[in-house]
């Protein structure tokens, strides 16, 4: 049994996406069919389109899906038809990381999220000429319908416009907020600096405010983003074009930041993040780097000041608990991530991607219904 769906297919590296009618498998016993309401556009989608990640084409991308469960396989008990869900990253459930509840460091994170197949190597999509890669982040949600599973659907309490907003919580927004709250565990009264004020960096600014950080600094090249960072809780903003950014951060924090976050993945910026910290400072990197890129730090400074530098994936978020927590904070007016969002009709997907590249949309969301 199969069904006809509309999906945005990526056929060539560097090419545009085309909306096509293709065929989706019916859900297997452990799968969940979701009618997609809306899907966010994340930088990881753009990185795959640019050929920076090992995802084969043709493929249906999209990994910030939100929608309504339409059907479930015989073994599914977590959700039922009619439930509102967002769809987050996929994980295996049995490796040492998954056993520890650290699913974002699943030993099979790459195959389960980037290889464009189910775990058994099969694909769930096809067109008239053959298979189309599917299951991107366990969903491929640039589509009218997607297949997910119990490990990556998160039940949410939402309808209509609220649900359409919530897809980005499942990747970009939880990555920024989770890195601050779960990984760095920013403490009340401390100072925090983020390099890069895109959707991930701005989510981090909001989360640092929630945590009670008293000095919150955003660094970016675009003044419009720095202005938004101030509205969302930054106490200081610096343009990265200035050559004394590290000195400015040290001055603003009285000797260096307690926590630093790099969202750019650029080695010289990561170096600035480490250099701008106070003794015992803790820094995180989460940006998708170019293949083969390396990070360097001043060995003496790094060692003698007791600094920490950690890699973070998906904000170390357990979606089932963390996404509802972010929704509660949003409803309480403490996490206004809706200010980052710009909606597009599904057939405007290439415009949304273009605007994301240009920086005119911080977090584009495509509406499928």
Note the residues at the interface with Zn ion (CB under 5 A).
Answer: 42, 44, 91-92, 95, 98, 106, 171
Q: For residues 33 and 98, which CB has a smaller minimum distance to Zn ion in the complex?
A: 98
Q: How far is the CB of 23 from Zn ion (least distance, A)?
A: 26
DSSP states along 263-305: -S--HHHHHHHHHTEEEEEEEEE-S-PPTT------HHHHHHT
The number of angstroms, rounded, from the C-alpha of 268 to the middle of its chain's C-alpha atoms is 23
Please answer whether residues 290 and 52 qualify as being in contact, where contact means their C-beta atoms are separated by less than 8 angstroms: yes
Q: For residues 89 and 346, which CB has a smaller minimum distance to Zn ion in the complex?
A: 89
Q: For residues 70 and 108, which CB has a smaller minimum distance to Zn ion in the complex?
A: 108
Please answer whether residues 23 and 127 qualify as being in contact, where contact means their C-beta atoms are separated by less than 8 angstroms: yes
Q: How far is the CB of 279 from Zn ion (least distance, A)?
A: 33
Q: For residues 83 and 108, which CB has a smaller minimum distance to Zn ion in the complex?
A: 108
The strand pair at 257-262 and 191-195 is best described as: parallel
Q: How far is the CB of 61 from Zn ion (least distance, A)?
A: 10
Q: How far is the CB of 187 from Zn ion (least distance, A)?
A: 27
| Per-position b or e across 165-188, b if 16+ CB within 10 A of its CB | bbbbbbbbbbbbbbbbbbbbebee
Q: For residues 119 and 252, which CB has a smaller minimum distance to Zn ion in the complex?
A: 119
Structure token digits, residue 168:
């980005």
Q: How far is the CB of 141 from Zn ion (least distance, A)?
A: 11
Q: For residues 127 and 355, which CB has a smaller minimum distance to Zn ion in the complex?
A: 355
Please answer whether residues 245 and 222 qualify as being in contact, where contact means their C-beta atoms are separated by less than 8 angstroms: no
Task: Identify the CA nearest to 78 among candidates 167, 150, 183, 135.
Answer: 150
Q: How far is the CB of 32 from Zn ion (least distance, A)?
A: 19
Q: How far is the CB of 207 from Zn ion (least distance, A)?
A: 17
Q: For residues 111 and 324, which CB has a smaller minimum distance to Zn ion in the complex?
A: 111
Task: Identify the CA nearest to 142 among candidates 337, 350, 3.
Answer: 350
């Amino acid at each position: 049994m199969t069904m006809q769906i509309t999906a945005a297919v990526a056929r060539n590296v560097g090419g545009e996406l085309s909306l096509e009618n293709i065929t989706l498998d019916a859900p297997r016993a452990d799968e969940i069919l979701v009618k997609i309401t809306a899907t966010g556009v994340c930088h990881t989608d753009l990185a795959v389109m640019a050929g920076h990640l090992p995802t084969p084409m043709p493929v249906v991308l999209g990994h910030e899906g939100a929608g309504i469960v339409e059907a479930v396989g015989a073994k599914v008990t977590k959700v039922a038809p009619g439930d509102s869900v967002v769809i987050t990253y996929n994980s295996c459930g049995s490796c040492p990381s998954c056993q520890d509840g650290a699913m974002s460091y699943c030993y099979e994170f790459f195959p389960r999220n980037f290889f464009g197949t189910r775990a058994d190597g099969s694909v769930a999509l096809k067109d008239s000429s053959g298979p189309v890669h599917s299951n991107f982040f366990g969903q491929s949600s640039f589509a009218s319908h997607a297949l997910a599973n119990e490990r990556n659907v998160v039940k949410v309490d939402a309808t209509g416009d609220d649900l359409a907003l919530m897809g980005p919580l499942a990747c970009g927004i939880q990555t920024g907020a989770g890195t601050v709250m779960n990984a760095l565990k920013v403490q009340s009264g401390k100072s925090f600096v983020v390099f890069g004020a895109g959707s991930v960096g701005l989510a981090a600014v909001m989360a640092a405010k929630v945590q009670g950080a008293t000095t919150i600094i955003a660094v970016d090249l675009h003044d419009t983003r720095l202005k938004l960072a101030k509205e969302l809780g930054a106490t200081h903003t610096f343009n990265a074009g200035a050559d004394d950014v590290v000195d400015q951060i040290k001055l603003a924090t009285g000797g260096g930041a307690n926590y630093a976050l790099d969202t750019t993945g650029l080695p010289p910026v990561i170096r600035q993040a480490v250099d701008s910290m106070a003794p015992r400072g803790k820094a995180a990197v989460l940006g998708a780097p170019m293949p083969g890129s390396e990070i360097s730090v001043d060995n003496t400074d790094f060692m003698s000041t007791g600094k920490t530098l950690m890699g973070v994936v998906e904000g170390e978020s357990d979606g089932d608990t963390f996404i509802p927590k972010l929704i509660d904070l949003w409803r309480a007016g403490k996490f206004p991530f809706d200010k980052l969002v710009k909606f597009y009709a599904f057939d405007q997907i290439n415009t949304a991607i273009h605007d994301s590249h240009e920086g005119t949309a911080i977090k584009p969301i495509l509406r499928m219904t």
